[in-house]
Structure 1
Amino acid sequence: MATPPPDGVYVPVPTFFQPFDKSAYKQPLDLTAQTEHTLFLANAGITGLVLCGSTGEAVHLTPGERAELIRSQKAALVEGGFSNVVIMAGTASQNIDETIGIIAESKEAGADYALVLTPSYFATAGGYSEEGLRNWFTAVAEHSSLPVLVYNYPAVTNNLQLSLSLMKHLASHPNIVGCKLSHGNMSHHLILSSTKEIDHDKFRVYTGLGQQLLPLLLSGPGAAGAIDGTAAYFPKTLLRIWNLSKKISAANGNVTKEEWEEVHALQCAYSEVEEWVVKFGTIGIKEAVRKVLGISVGQDGGRLPFCEGASGGGGPAKQWENFRGAFEAVQDFEGKL
């Protein structure tokens, strides 16, 4: 039986590219910026990284680029003395064999776990049955060379929401060790974290939304942490929320008034700044990495069909002033941690 990843805070990192050349249709990977960002996060104390996930534009990368990205960041972590930092590798394929192949290549490059996105191409054109989805995930898990986490992200899967009955069934598979829930249905978070139908020692629940970390960690024994994009530039704040929330949960709420006030203030401020990611997604995360951390990641946003990224139209660069107060509030917390 596979072992779940350690509880804690994971960062789904963006993939950084070199500046856009209009004479070409894509940009090479910027591994210098990628490594600088990886080591910043490792120094902050994060539990792990998600590479080639949805934030990492996995669907815009070639198989060779995926392997190069994982291999380079694994090497940087080991060389930097952070070999304990976990690497999850995302998959976003509709095909079982391709998914199994991506996982095998990711393992060879240095990944520890596979974060497997729900197949969804026909979700709104004929639809998928629960039996079909169950058999798809089971086939992947049976043949995966890495332990699998189920990735439920309706916003990028034609609004396909995996049912509780399906999730409970998948949780019993010996090679499925957890899930990432990137949606706002806290009832599903709570049930999957606390139902007695799941062995919570082997199946861990992560929220994909940092604004839900405090309520998740107070919900049940299966609650593990967050895999959250805002932690790409404010990792210490989310780590502090995680640590305080775990302490409160372990003490059944019997902590000081000051600790309650601190975690409420941190969660509120963090939730305010999460509205940036809600509005701008991946290109917003890249712009915040550039603005907050000063890492030179350019202003192109991402690969096509992302167009003009952070600098175009009403994109994040043009909207920064509207969010400045929220960012400065969390930067103030971050600087004290």
Structure 2
Amino acid sequence: MTLDFTGVFPAMTTPFDADGSIDFQTLRDDARRLESAGVDGLVPAGSTGESATLTHDEHVEVIEAVVDAVDDVPVIAGSGSNSTHEALSLSQRAEAAGADALLLISPYYNKPEPAGMEDHYRQIADAVDVPIVVYNVPSRTGRSIDVDTAVALASHENVRGYKAASGDLGAISEICERTREEDFAVLSGDDPLTLPIQSVGGTGVISVTANVEPERMCALVDAANADDYAAAREIHHELGPLFRQLFVETNPIPVKEAMAIRGYGPARLRAPLTRLSEQHVDDLRAVLAALDDTPDPDLQEADR
């Protein structure tokens, strides 16, 4: 499969049974639901999938389940760690499980210097035969991947993308600018910044919101990629209240609640995460109800 890192790639949640084990049937059903909605790929076992509380064996089992469930969309599997040795092992196991590409969060807690950050990714890119996407989310890792490091990594033939979740639009724009001649995609990692990032050269989004509103997210990204920014802005503003509600508490707490409200799966999380606070549940229900009551005519015409 030749991967095109353009479009909407839901950052999938991992559903759990009451005993805390993975609910694989719901996971497979969710993968098929998202594929049917027209997304361009799936991203299991990432931050939204509670990767921090999955064992390495569970990582692989989640990836295998999603790969087996879908027919035509690529699977970009989370396989990062703050240990290069562990990230390399997990990446090789994810590749063997059928992943079409890998999403690697930057090393967290130990906060490597730029040289160590670049070496971390190069070691893994050299060792696997599937493309990797570099994931920058300093709010979780404690250290941002600087622009020069991201640009240097883009020259590696196996580093094909960058998930931008720093919130620094200036830095993201510079990465887009300086990698224009590379086979390298910049994907938003912040749903509210998807449209601004596309306006400076981004190709799409690895999205939390797409778990709940895949069709609208696809319509937004498709419109921006077609340079129809008026339509894209309309959908962006329509989704604005949901963007805000899905991040009132730590991701994936709100999105799991939203999926439960929509009937897509349980809202259970692994400790130390807890259910969405009651003070936010009614607001989330109201936002979802408003979206249910106001279908976007552009969505009905979208050919996906």
**Kept in 2: contact 1:210–1:271 (CA 8 A):** no
Pick from 155, 161, 174: which aligns with 1:191? 174
Alpha-carbon offset, residue 5 of structure 1 = 3.5
User: What is the 5 A alignment of 1:320-331?
Assistant: 320-331=281-292
State the TM-score, normalizing by the size of structure 2. Answer: 0.91
Match of 2:146 in 1: 163
Q: CA deviation at 1:269?
A: 2.1
Query: Alpha-carbon deviations, 1:212-251, whole Å to 9, x = none?
Result: 222222213xx21000101101001111111111111xxx
Map of 1:275 onto structure 2: 244
Provide the C-alpha distance between the structure 1 equivalents of 2:207 and 2:38, rounded to a whole number of angstroms. Answer: 15
Residue 335 of structure 1 deviates from its aligned partner by 6.8
37 and 3 in structure 1: CA distance in 2 versus 1, 3 angstrom threshold: closer
1:306 aligned to 2:294?
no
Deviates more, 1:186-195 or 1:320-329: 320-329
Taking only aligned residues, the RMSD between alpha carbons, in angstroms, comes to: 2.0
Q: Is the 8 A contact 2:80 2:91 kept in 1?
A: no
Contact 2:125 2:131 in 1 (8 A): yes
Judged with a 3 Å threshold, the aligned counterparts in structure 2 of structure 1 residues 198 and 168 are, in CA distance, closer, same or farther, namely farther
Unaligned runs of 5+ residues in structure 1 are 21-26, 78-82, 249-254
2:110 equivalent to 1:122 = yes
Q: What are the Cα deviations for residues 94-119 of structure 1, in whole angstroms up to 9, with x where unaligned?
A: 22222111111111211111101111
CA deviation after TM superposition for structure 1 residue 204, in Å: 0.4
Aligned to 2:49: 56
Indicate whether 1:72 and 2:59 are aligned: no
Query: How far is the alpha carbon of 1:85 from its aligned partner?
Result: 0.7
Distance in 2 of aligned mates of 1:183 and 1:209 = 8
Q: Which residue of 1 aligns with 2:22?
A: 29
Q: What SS does the aligned partner of 1:173 have?
A: coil
Partner of 1:23: none
Which residue in 2 is equivalent to 1:288? 258
Normalised by the length of structure 1, the TM-score is: 0.82
TM-fit CA distance, 1:138:
1.4
Q: Distance in 2 between matches of 1:68 and 1:334?
A: 36
Q: Residue 49 of structure 1 aligns to a residue in which SS?
A: coil
How far is 1:328 from its partner? 3.1
For 1:120 and 1:62, locate their aligned partners in 2 and report how far apart those are by CA, in whole Å: 17
- Local SS of the residue matching 2:108: coil
Tell me the equivalent position of 1:87.
75
Instruction: Give distance in 1, aligned partners of 2:141 and 2:117.
Output: 13
**Residue number in structure 1 paired with 2:136:** 152
Tell me, in whole angstroms, the C-alpha distance in 2 between the residues paired with 1:181 and 1:296: 28
Secondary structure at 1:279 match in 2: coil
Say yes or no: does 1:46 pair with 2:46. no
Separation in structure 1 between the aligned mates of residue 168 and residue 102 of structure 2, nearest angstrom: 23
1:241-252 to 2 correspondences below 5 Å: 241-248=220-227
Query: Could you give the per-residue CA deviations for residues 78-97 of structure 1, whole angstroms, max 9, x where no partner exists?
Result: xxxxx221101112312222
| 1:205 corresponds to which of 186, 197, 209 | 186
- What amino acid sits opposite 2:154 in the alignment? A
Partner letter of residue 7 of structure 2? G
- Name the structure 2 match of 1:238: 217
Alpha-carbon separation, structure 2, partners of 1:296 and 1:3: 32
Match of 1:112 in 2: 100
Q: CA deviation at 1:51?
A: 0.7
2: CA distance, partners of 1:296 / 1:205: 30
The structure having more radius of gyration, on CA atoms, is 1
> Match for residue 302 of structure 2?
none
Judged with a 3 Å threshold, the aligned counterparts in structure 2 of structure 1 residues 187 and 178 are, in CA distance, closer, same or farther, namely same
Amino acid at match of 1:75: D
Q: Percent identity?
A: 25
Q: Give the direction of change, closer, same or farther, for the CA distance of 1:303–1:270 in structure 2 (3 Å limit).
A: same
CA distance in 2, matches of 1:227, 1:87: 12
Distance 1:167 1:6, change over 3 A: closer
Following TM superposition, the consecutive aligned residue runs of length 4 or more in structure 1 with deviations greater than 6 angstroms are none
Report the Cα distance in structure 2 between the residues aligned to 1:236 and 1:181, rounded to whole angstroms.
Answer: 22
Aligned length: 297
Q: CA deviation at 1:122?
A: 2.1
Residues 265 and 198 from structure 1, CA distance in 2 versus in 1: closer, same or farther, beyond 3 angstroms?
closer
SS of corresponding position for 1:111: coil
After superposition, the Cα gap between the structure-2 partners of 1:323 and 1:69, relative to the gap in structure 1 and judged at 3 Å, is closer
Q: Give 1:333 deviation, angstroms.
A: 4.8
Contact 1:152-1:181 within 8 A present in 2 as well: yes
Compared CA separation, residues 103 and 184, structure 1 to 2 (3 A):
same
Determine helix, strand or coil for the equivalent of 1:303: coil
